[in-house]
Amino acid sequence: MKATLAILLALSLLAAACGNDDDTQASSDSAETAAGEADTAEGGDDAGPDASDGSAPGSNAPDDVDLLSHDAYWVAEVEPPGAPAPVTQINDMYIDIETNRATVYAQMRLMGNVVSPPQVDPGECTETQAGDWVCHHPNAVYLNGSGEELQASDGTGAWWVKHSWVLGGEGYYNCPIAPAESYDNCIDVEGVLLDDGITMKIGGVEPGTADNFNTRVPLIDRSPVAYNLITWRDDGSGPVEEFNLVFECQEVVSPFDGSARTCPNSPDPTGAQPGSAQTEEAADGETTDQPGGGGFSLNGFRYCEILLTVEGDNGAPVSEVWGTQGVGPCRDDAWRAIDADALVAEFEASGVRMNGPRYFVVDGSVDTAAATDDEEEQKEIRAYGGIDMQLLATIDGGIADAPYNPVRVLRTATWTFNAGTEVYELTDSEGNTYLMQSYSLIQEPDLTADDLASLGDRLELPDGWSYNARVLDQDMQVPLAPDGGAIVVQDELENSYQRSSF
């Protein structure tokens, strides 16, 4: 009896936190319990997506490729408190390009059994082993693979919670997915497309509900593309991240129409089609005619890195760069909980730098020495305090702390920018230019992308150095150093720049 009660409580907390667009009335206490008292997405008091950022498709028409990256069978596993095993969260999502309609069929499963929505017909309820009653979910439809939504079970399928909206248009009446006897916290919600052309925002329509919402976005740095659902709440000072869930794509038979769709794939960062000649590396930071992002952008992508200084093969110190890029999210609660001193002891390191949270200002990346299949399989992944990271690069020597001190980072990947992107450029006393690749919240937790154009007024630049913001009129690929690697500097706020002229 107590175990079943604990499971229902855990499911209620999980549903309130990640909600499948159900978080609009979730209490902050429940969300903090389920998400480990998560702080803001930016690592401070930074606001998340604002309601004004949304735009209807007519004013910000989505690219079909971008929008179709949402279309897949998404699966995530979460271990809520009190549950005896991970809870599987399923979002079977469909996109209708002609109408800009998004439809999600959702279930929650525990040890293979559907626990939400309750598997009962309209008007019916069932008693749990704990003696609690759970009833038919108001948003439930019955799916049996026929391509039709049934209003009563026929014994060949299962009940799923359905949410469907037109971007910038028709919304839906939303009830929390958690199983209950009475579904009282139902509200009208609507979905819009944000200005990046790929992120969906779903939130309440009526006053008092509009400031709490979900964002849904494919994680385009992965192939196949993964999927990120973040819930936000407004405590009066702006939206802050409440819960962050990453889904993986599975190519399984859909309960709706019996089809097995392929997972979306990230576009080639250079914009080149498979089998075509790749873009030659741009020299002297000149722009190229190749698109930098293929319609996608990393701009605004949050990540974290840990730099470990260890003894190299030749006995000399080397700094390993471990990052969340291409692996998963940098959850603020987990990041704050990492003990740097414990990492020194665990990895016998002579130095550790917690390098994050950070946000990319680039549009894409390209590896100038693409890995083979064997090399891809050998990528090293580690868990640091519950955050998965992969080894991205190395730096000869220890960790340099002095700002405006160029350091060679041994990697083969470099950055691309799309035409129309605003870039932020340092020029040193010898005329060498460095383009910002990411900004940091380490020294100034309140720093936002809106501050970058005038950042030069706040920096204490060395004599002869300058800071400039400009808008690119062509796509651009930042070159690596002719003798290998990337030359990187940081300012005193720990924003990072890669040298773009040689």
What does the alpha-carbon distance between residue 224 and residue 218 come to, in Å, rounded to a whole number? 10
pTM: 0.49
Rounded average pLDDT per 10-residue block, the chain, 502 residues: 42 45 34 28 39 37 70 88 75 93 92 84 84 90 91 89 95 88 90 90 84 88 84 78 88 84 63 28 32 50 90 86 80 87 92 92 81 55 86 82 89 90 97 97 93 96 97 94 93 96 91
The answer, yes or no, to whether the previous bond of 49 is cis (omega within 30 of 0) is no
| Residues 362/415, Cβ–Cβ less than 8 Å | yes
Residue 224, SS3 per DSSP:
coil
Q: Residue 1 has which token pair? A: 């009896």
Tell me what pLDDT residue 297 has: 60
| DSSP strand pairing (87-96 vs 72-78) | antiparallel
Angle at 247 between CA 361 and CA 16, to 5 degrees: 100
Which helix (H) or strand (E) segment is 3 a member of?
helix 2-18
Q: Is 5 left (phi over 0), alpha (psi -120 to 50) or beta?
A: alpha
Tell me what pLDDT residue 253 has: 81
The single residue listed with the structure tokens 């690069």 is 393
Residues in the chain: 502
| Residues 38/329, Cβ–Cβ less than 8 Å | no
Tell me what pLDDT residue 65 has: 61
- How many other C-beta atoms can be found within 10 angstroms of the C-beta atom of residue 16? 27
What does the alpha-carbon distance between residue 197 and residue 309 come to, in Å, rounded to a whole number? 40
Residue 450, SS3 per DSSP:
helix
What does the alpha-carbon distance between residue 354 and residue 140 come to, in Å, rounded to a whole number? 45
Number of H helices, E strands in the chain: 6, 30
Tell me what pLDDT residue 11 has: 47
Residue 274, SS3 per DSSP:
coil
DSSP code string of 242-280: EEEEEEEE-----TTTS--PPPP-PPPTT-PPTTSPPPP
Amino acid at 494: E
Closest of 70, 124, 127 to residue 102, by C-alpha: 70
| Residues 271/291, Cβ–Cβ less than 8 Å | yes
What does the alpha-carbon distance between residue 106 and residue 381 come to, in Å, rounded to a whole number? 30
| DSSP strand pairing (158-166 vs 486-490) | unpaired
Q: Is 20 left (phi over 0), alpha (psi -120 to 50) or beta?
A: left
The single residue listed with the structure tokens 């020194």 is 344
What does the alpha-carbon distance between residue 489 and residue 492 come to, in Å, rounded to a whole number? 10
Between the two ends of the chain, the Cα-to-Cα distance in Å is: 70
What does the alpha-carbon distance between residue 289 and residue 265 come to, in Å, rounded to a whole number? 23
What does the alpha-carbon distance between residue 95 and residue 63 come to, in Å, rounded to a whole number? 12
Closest of 76, 367, 382 to residue 250, by C-alpha: 76
| Residues 323/389, Cβ–Cβ less than 8 Å | yes
| Residues 440/447, Cβ–Cβ less than 8 Å | yes
What does the alpha-carbon distance between residue 258 and residue 280 come to, in Å, rounded to a whole number? 44
Residues facing 407 on adjacent strands: 488
Q: Residue 489 has which token pair? A: 């500097």
What does the alpha-carbon distance between residue 139 and residue 124 come to, in Å, rounded to a whole number? 14
Which helix (H) or strand (E) segment is 341 a member of?
helix 340-346
User: What is the crossing angle of helices 28-35 and 2-18, to 10°?
Assistant: 110
The single residue listed with the structure tokens 């549903």 is 15
- How many other C-beta atoms can be found within 10 angstroms of the C-beta atom of residue 240? 21
Q: Residue 296 has which token pair? A: 């996608």
Tell me what pLDDT residue 266 has: 57
Angle at 70 between CA 65 and CA 73, to 5 degrees: 130
Amino acid at 243: F
Tell me what pLDDT residue 64 has: 62
| Residues 269/416, Cβ–Cβ less than 8 Å | yes
What are the residue boundaries of the structural domains of the chain, listed by start?
Answer: 2-249, 302-499
What does the alpha-carbon distance between residue 162 and residue 24 come to, in Å, rounded to a whole number? 16
Tell me what pLDDT residue 142 has: 95
